[in-house]
Amino acid sequence: MATETSVHQAMLAAVPHLRAFAISLSGNVEYADDLVQSALMRGLENLDKFQPGTSMQAWLFTILRNHYYTELRKHRREVEDPDGAMAEKLAVLPEQGSRLDFTDMQAALARLSPEQREALLLVSAEGVSYEEAAQICRVNIGTLKSRVNRARTRLAELLALDAEEDLGPDRLVKAALLTHTP
């Protein structure tokens, strides 16, 4: 029973991570919560397949993104989001003078391919190792690294982080807030 409890605790601890991942992956808070819910339910149903000693969070991430891709293939809806329509639906991101323009970030993320987006989110935002991210995404590590690389480059383009411009005035303010030292 102690094991059962700790399993549930591990799942509970993973929930904020799963949500952040699902929201930034899908660009839609409500849908993201549905994704998390179904991942948790699938996890609970398949607990016998979870290997003790491995990362519960990584396991749930795998379940969530597999389900996300199945749904994507089924519906083929708003996969790419060239006009940022998906990002516009965002309800969670408050305008209340947050330091960063999260809407810009979400809109830019929405324009990456899903594969690049998930790779980048796992490695650069969630902080998962390349190895673990490769397992979650079911690709080899070289492919994963490449996706992260390309995603970063593309995202920098989309956010107009131009090396030559040396971060324009607007960016500089943000950069300063991020303790960017010259």
Partner 1 sequence: MVADSLKAGTLPEEPDGLEDGQSVDGEPAPEPTLPPRIAAYLGEQLQAFYAHLMSAPVPDRLVQLLEQPDRKGSASDGD
Residue ranges binding partner 1 (CB under 8 A): 1, 4, 8, 11-12, 15-17, 19-20, 23-24, 33, 36-37, 40-41, 44, 92-93, 98-100, 102, 105-106, 120-121, 124-127, 139, 142-143, 145-147, 149-150, 152-153, 155-156, 159, 161, 163, 167, 174-175, 178, 180
* Alpha-carbon span 9 to 132, nearest angstrom: 21
Question: Two tokens at 37?
Answer: 């819910």
Q: Which is nearer to partner 1, 9 or 70 (CB)?
A: 9
CA distance linking residue 57 with residue 71, whole number of Å: 21
Q: Mind giving me the DSSP string for 47-79?
A: GGGS-TTS-HHHHHHHHHHHHHHHHHHHH--SS
Give least dist CB 102 to partner 1, A.
5
**DSSP summary character for residue 181:** -
Given the complex with partner 1, which of 16 and 83 has the nearer CB atom? Answer: 16
Supply the minimum distance, in Å, between the C-beta of residue 178 and partner 1.
Answer: 5
Query: Smallest distance from the beta carbon of 63 to partner 1, in angstroms?
Result: 14
Q: Which is nearer to partner 1, 72 or 90 (CB)?
A: 90
In the complex, what is the shortest distance from the CB of residue 89 to partner 1, in angstroms, rounded to a whole number?
A: 15
Q: What is the 3-state secondary structure (H, E, C) of 72-85?
A: HHHHCCCCCCCCCH
Q: Is 146 within 8 Å of 115 (Cβ atoms)?
A: no
| CA pseudo-torsion sign 52, 124, 105, 157 | negative
3-state secondary structure of 139: coil
Work out how close the CB of 129 gets to partner 1 at its nearest, in angstroms, rounded to a whole number.
Answer: 15
> C-beta of 164: minimal distance to partner 1 in Å?
10
Q: Which is nearer to partner 1, 35 or 62 (CB)?
A: 35
Comparing C-alpha atoms, which of 143, 135, 148, 154 is closest to residue 65?
135
